[in-house]
Structure 1
Amino acid sequence: MTTTNPNLNQLFTSDTFADMIKNKLIKTVENYQVSNPQKEIYMMAWGDTTYPIPSKVVEALVDAATKLGHQSTYTGYGEFDGNIKLREAICHNYYKPRGINLKPEEIFVSDGAQSGTFGIQELFGLDNVIALQDPIYPPYLEANLLAGRNNIIYLECNDKNNFVPDIPQSKVDVIYLCFPNNPTGGVATKEQLKAFVDYARSYKSVIIFDAVYSAFITDPNIPKSIYEIEGATECAIEVGSFSKTAGFSGLRLGWSVVPVDLTIKRTVAGELTEMFRISQSIRFWGASNLAQQGGIAVLSEECQQECQEIVNYYLENARILKEGLEAFGLTCFGGTNNPYIWVKGAEGMSSWDVFNQLLFKAGIVGVPGSLFGSSGEGFLRLSTLGRREDMEKASCILMGFAAR
């Protein structure tokens, strides 16, 4: 008799992050709009981008699409680990300027950071102890639960430790770190990351480092890659993305780095890299040819200024919105070195109380911090990846309350 996957069934019968967004958050907003049709809604819940793709990238996409329409230039399947020119560009144009030397065979292109992160966990045994930041981007947790792992510990991130957790107090096998952090906006110093690298090397553990928001770092003392820390190639996998910096949230393109130097128990140098190559070849036949040509254009020297303008646009959004929130009387974290603002409610307020306060007062929609983990209770995440006019209008409304 056919039965369901018990791990998937467990998630199906519980409240996943996506279902909570759909079934509670969206319905609350819809009900509010029905009762208040004259009120404008400012959607700041999603980490989705709104700024147009750079012009050089558009040219590359049009050229690539045009070539698909001619027999002599048509291309089908590409390399399942990614276009070699794109992987070379990631090595030479993204990592090398940061003083990091990687080889193209250590780069694996995916259709976005979430797919890459999900695939990485397939490298590790189901009995491994997993350490997750709390609050955390929920799909990290859900991917491991879907795989059947249940030995999970949480590293608390709060305003007392600037949302950077201490290293685990016991031995863990895989540590998920995200800096700049989604949802808290926190960033980790070189010294803090070194402590995790030293820990991982000591215990033969692996760090999975989400660096999707690294381009938003403006402080020169904050690392943009885990590989800026000595010894990190021996213990860390890094995930990157084109979504936020080049407007690829719809095109879908990211990458994972599995260094040849990375080893764990009973493996030799290069073995995990080859294992991941095999894993990716089984479940994935490569990212879109069009998206990859766009990625090559993104990493070109002439396009980098356009990408920086996109980043600056969102950081200015964050400054504008944060100014209004603070004038309204709310305590805010993030919004610098990061496009997310982590809003703390008044004493005794739940995350949903903060959500309702901003929705009912100003029409601002965020994601309750409790959806990111127990340590997110009492907070709200706001994304500033939206349109400038929405940030300005919302901030103006908040300042209007403050002036009364």
Structure 2
Amino acid sequence: MKLKPCLTALALACAAGASFQAANAQEMKAEVIHWWTSGGESAAVKVFAEQFAKAGGTWVDTAIAGGVNARTAAINRVVGGTPPTAMQFNTGKQFDELVENDLLRDVDQIATEQKWKSFMPQAIIDATSRNGKMYAVPVNIHGQNWLWLSKAALEKAGASEPANWDEALVALEKLKAAGLIPLAFSGQKVWERGLFNAVLVGKGGTALWASIHGKRDPAAARSPEFRAVAETYGKLRGYIDPGAPGRNWNDATNLVIQGKAGMQIMGDWAKGEFAAAGQTAGKEFGCAILSNEGGYVMGGDVFAFPKLKDPAQQKAQLVLAKVMLEPETQIRFAQKKGSIPVRLDLDVSSLDACAQKAVKLLADKKHQVAAQEMLSPPALTGAMEDVISQYWNTPAMTADAFMAKVADVLKQPF
């Protein structure tokens, strides 16, 4: 006689369980804004989505082409009161104003629990910390000053793989003589600055890098060492093709993949494009850091979490943070993205030859060079970018005039 009430109780329990499962699925739903839209990048972000799904979550992908566009859209959403669960920034100062206005959630508790600071480079920790607390999850380390080269193109030109900028100029001249595009280039301001920075750290050295981007010393911009950087950078104009202005970076990479161009200076995210094309480091393409000192410019990507009132969304943020730094996720992501893990405590033997070079370099702290974005506020980075772009696109501008403009920028308060 008591069977019916038992069945009723069981039904209620099942309904409650179903409601709990539905709520749990809902609370693990995470909208993520990012700018990873190229072939290699899309394959990489899929790793995060898959690993989050394994943890019981649903990744809602909001991909917006272009870093500036994606960041602007994300910030507007936060300020407008409709924030995403997570949003991408470059490792550095891009999210400072969100922290200052108390719009970001700190991740210090999970960072402490998971002992993040025990396996990340100090420069990365510093770049994501404000007032002693971490406010973003670093997910990788990108080397910004890599040289990528087509082995077939260099062989056709009779050129050797360069180890420094002096040797690179010799190889570029041979590629030009062979009728190939010597330097595949994306003629956009951000990549004009990227090329300049590669020359700055490689030709000028790590001390000059620190003086310009770290100490912001105007005298350094008037030094003989900086003059050599400016002159070398100016020479590179003669090795690009007419199609460079406005070209996307991955289209420039594709010229190297196809053997139409000999070299490209680009961060190691370009390696993901080679992988997506089925090419192997050391076989079809090569890689090098053009530097006598081995200065490796460390950039990268982070995810920040807006302050949200919904406990379900807060939980999703913590799960995302944990999943992104799990060893398996880190290795799989690096294999697709071209970066190396932000965790320096992992077995990276499964990564490619270029990644192995990067890990070996970063094992020595003197090779760890903080990226410009980590050292300079966005306004200063933008001002430097404007001056660099003006010099690059004005062949008649002298090195002296450029040096004076850089010195003037460094004098300004930012």
TM over 0.5: no
Structure number with the bigger relative contact order (C-alpha 8 A, sep ≥ 6) is 2
TM-score by length of 1: 0.27
Higher-helix-fraction structure: 2
TM-score by length of 2: 0.27
